[in-house]
Amino acid sequence: MTRRPQQIGNYVLEREVGRGGSSEVWLARHAHLEERQVAIKILTDNNKEAIQRFNREANLAGRLSHPQIVRLYDHGYTGVFYYSIFEYIPGGSLRQLIEKQHRLPLTDAVAIFKQIAVALDYAHSLNIIHRDISPGNVLLEQATGRALLTDFGIAREVDNTITIVHSVMGTPGYWSPEHAQSATLVSRLSDIYSLGVVFYVMLAGDLPWDETPGLNNRVFGPPLPLKQRGVDNLPVDIDRILQTMLATDPAKRFPTANAAVEELERVLVRHEVQTQINPQLAKGKKRGATRAQGADDQALTVLSTGVETNEVETVLGPTLIRAPIADAHKRAKELSQPEVIANLLDNWSRQGPFRRSLLGRMAQLHKVQSRNIYFYKVRILYEYRDPPYAVEEPDRHKEQLKLEPELDRWQVSLSPVHDFKDEPGMQITLPGSTKVIDCSDCKAKGKIVCPNCKGKSRILVKQAADEATGKRTTSRSSSAVRMQAAEPQTIETSRRAIPTTAGAATAVLPPEPSLVACPVCEGYGGTKCERCEGVGRLVQRDAFRWRRFVRDIQGNDDLPDHDEEYIRKQCKMQEIYCERASNGFRFEWGQIPTLRELIQKAQAATDDDTRILLSEVTIGFIPVTDIIFDLGKFDPGSNNEGLNKVSIYGFEHYIPPDWRFLNWERVIFICAIGFMFVLVVVFGFFAFTA
């Protein structure tokens, strides 16, 4: 093993303070500046890839200049060693502090969390992904309590990587699901996942799971509630924040580390209201002649609140797509600034010739309140199954029937459900319901007694004389039987012949009965049974028909003084949730009042014959900000008379037309000119035609 140098550049190595898989970290002191201490990282692995990574770490660290990131002073090569000289942070790592205290107080954990979050967002802004956020890579300065992020050894730039495909890098337990698949899939959202694990460990002293996911093909699941780890006296919404940061789907995590910090701050100061001072009033600007005495010299405070707490974020927080929600909070923060609202109102004033000019400059804000209007769509795939009915067929093949248990119609498995689509279905036989029965129509004989001859094969028919010829005929259903006469003309019967003379009147003989073969059954005495087709037995089964159909039910939050349908037409809705459930609805959906009503409507369509196979809930929102202001005519003692309310919709900052803010002087003036023009035209017409 090659011996370590005693001195690198102007720095004398004093003692080893850390060791990694391919490097050592030494505390060193400047040879001439005794108070100058640094940390020197020495590469101990001469592998080509290790050297490449070590140099890349130095290049990335050299680009980073932030109070919460350990600073790189120098990088080089001496003898057989590559080295990097870093800022020395006297104190220790976060891992050592957790090992010592097990759990950190909430205030300490939040302070560290915020500092590392700021460092992460800064690195991400430079397209640098750390990929190994863990307590061992967070240093704590003992004197100041400053937390710093270090060790960019496996970091990479978004568009530049030397990572081997399918390789896994990082600290086990702090991996994201993307880490466990391949290091090339790790993104800035993976760093946020790891930061969430670090925050959890600071509060609980343990990892968020009983078994570390990612090892031995263990599945990533939601974190255990902090209370289950024995952590009490914390706001319950902290669990929701952790669940969001540790979402297995990257899109459902906070889009930035700062978004997680802001949500944490909202949880910790949920009922705290921020106030801002209108800059114009702070300078003592006079309001107007109609303001109450003594109010002119007072600075008006603007009550401004962020996005109101709602059931959607509270109940479904960890499963929501976080980027639009973070944008909504950012929008609310921007609209809490009076100058931003003033510019919006001024721009609105310039969009129409009849609108009051400089509305934003005239408006004196009292309150700014933001919220989200949520729109819901419940898609349901129903399956209908008819009540069982009997079907039968002749037992021609005499097949051996299987002995199997008889199933209920809802126990029969049909084609699997993959998506929402209508299906006409078909007839299905119920297993275990097949049986052989004797045909009740023919009493198992295969033939039915002929209704014409009553089974006697013969029928008795009468003979009749032909009035035109005087011949006797025997009526049969199949053909007429005629008897030929001989000279002299006679009519032969079975008993006698009656002579006649030519030219004499024809005699009509009385009918006589005769037995003939039944023309219906052709002398068999019966006909083939149509039900059993002559077999005498039937195979009978119970069957049912099924079909599937899709229904959509939509609804939205009903806010006072807002036309939700109008808002939806004017602004683009941001979709933040789309999840499915089999055979019903998820429990958490019913905890949102509006969504619960839609689910109840969907369930009302079910009965013994109809069930829900698949359901899907889609949620979107449009942000709304209500501003309350006066135009210089507000009297504090007049019960809010003179106050105006205007709503700003969507990320487009759409403000609807409002007749209250028309320039009535201009409207009246133009109307008067128009009226006079009409009068001139009318009088001119009559004068011309007179």
Question: Which residue, 197, 189, 146, 144, is CA-closest to 173?
Answer: 197
132 carries an active-site annotation = yes
CA distance 206 to 201: 5
379 with 615: CB under 8 angstroms? yes
Long-range contacts of 211-214 (CB under 8 A, 24+ apart): 212/172, 212/173, 213/175, 213/177, 213/180, 214/168, 214/172, 214/175, 214/177, 214/179, 214/180
395 with 540: CB under 8 angstroms? no
Measure the CA dihedral 166/170/174/176, to 10°: -30
390 with 542: CB under 8 angstroms? yes
Which residues are CB-neighbours of 76 under 8 A, at least 6 positions away?
9, 82, 83
Question: Which of these is catalytic: 74, 121, 132, 232?
Answer: 132
The DSSP secondary-structure symbol of 491 reads E
Tokens, residue 455: 């089974």
Tokens, residue 52: 């490449």
Helices then strands (H, E): number in the chain?
15, 29
CA distances from 465 to 402, 434, 469, 505 (A): 66, 60, 8, 13
CA distance 283 to 292: 19
* CA atoms 47, 49, 52, 58: torsion sign: negative
* CA atoms 556, 560, 564, 570: torsion sign: negative
What does the DSSP assignment read for 318-339? GGS-HHHHHHHHHHHHHHTSHH
Question: Known catalytic residues?
Answer: 132
